[in-house]
Amino acid sequence: MLLGPGDDAAVLAAPDRRVVVTTDLLLEGRHFRRDWSSGYEIGRKAAAQNLSDIMAMGATPTGLFVGLGMPADTTVEWLDALSDGFRDECALVGAGVAGGDIAKSDTIVLGVTALGDLGGIAPVTRSGASPGDQVAVAGRLGHAAAGLALLSAGAVSDAFAELLLAHRRPEPPYEQGPRAAALRATAMVDVSDGLVQDLGHVAAASGVAVILDPGGFPVSAPLADAARQVGADPLDWILTGGDDHALAAAFPPEVRLPPPWRVVGAVAAGHGVQVKGRAEAPGGWDHFRG
């Protein structure tokens, strides 16, 4: 960041001469609840989902811009906590908030735009997967969805603290985006709306099918316990829960993937996403339903 907040516009360095850009909108009551999450956690989450999109292209984030709509009675303490959340999440990747705008609104509205730099490499898009590629994921899956289910059921206890925090504040595997690019990933996507749904975007863009093996998704003890608590199938959370912001990517079959990447399936001729042993792949988050 060459010039930050304080002028009419910020100035960011663009060493690669290409700029990667992504944007997200978060609405109170739709994407977060202030009675479930603190201002600090909302700031972390809003930053994380945008920074993860930049990393999913194989790029390095350079800055965030935040548009904020808020009621007139929003407290200074809440705003300070929100700002601290943005600051701390950006610090994980060496970026910062370069500017933004505020306006009065009936509820909290956050519009976040992130910029990134490719450092001379080609972007990893959704359209490069080929039959024979292996499909792998990095990062946790299903934890945020489990946390949301627990909050919705009123099952809030210290026994589920890890899952509740996962919903409130995701932990994307940031460094694995550029690392996947270095490992010659042919396609990559941030898992924001559910693994099946987001890999469906890869399948459609690449003109291929993605076959997932349920055996590649071990169910942790916290997930199993939470599923019993609310009467759910933990595999459904893993396949359709997206707010963990894991990364999913396709790699050439000869690439030996280091941890934390784990192979969960393969690319084949055809179309769509199939889960072995299931007649129909489950869906994911729909922004106009649910």
With b for 16 or more beta-carbon neighbours within 10 A and e for fewer, the 6-33 pattern comes to: eeeebebeeebeeebebebebebeebbe
Q: What angle do CA 83, 155, 81 make, to 5 degrees?
A: 10
Residue 243 marked as a ligand binder:
yes
Residue 24 marked as a ligand binder:
yes
Specify whether the CB–CB gap between 48 and 114 falls below 8 A.
Answer: no
Residue 31 marked as a ligand binder:
yes
Three-state secondary structure string covering 87-139? HHHHHCCCCCEEEEEEEECCCCEEEEEEEEECCCCCCCCCCCCCCCCEEEEEC
Residue 283 marked as a ligand binder:
no
Residue 158 marked as a ligand binder:
no
Of 224, 203, 231, 212, whose CA–CA distance to 277 is shortest? 212
Residue 287 marked as a ligand binder:
no
Residue 36 marked as a ligand binder:
no
CA atoms within 13 A on the CB side of 77: 1
Residue 16 marked as a ligand binder:
no
CA distance 193 to 53: 12
Residue 33 marked as a ligand binder:
no
CA distances to 116, 201, 253 from 233, rounded to whole Å, are 37, 24, 31
- Beta carbons within 8 Å of 256's beta carbon, 6+ residues apart: none
Residue 22 marked as a ligand binder:
yes
Return left, alpha or beta for 70; rule: phi > 0 is left, psi -120 to 50 is alpha, else beta.
Answer: beta
Residue 8 marked as a ligand binder:
yes
Of 236, 257, 270, 86, whose CA–CA distance to 188 is shortest? 257
Residues forming beta bridges with residue 63, ordered by sequence position: 115
Bind-site residues for substrate: 31, 243, 285
Bind-site residues for ATP: 100-101, 126, 192
Bind-site residues: 8, 22-24, 31, 53, 100-101, 126, 190, 192-193, 243, 285
Bind-site residues for Mg(2+): 8, 22-24, 53, 101, 190, 193
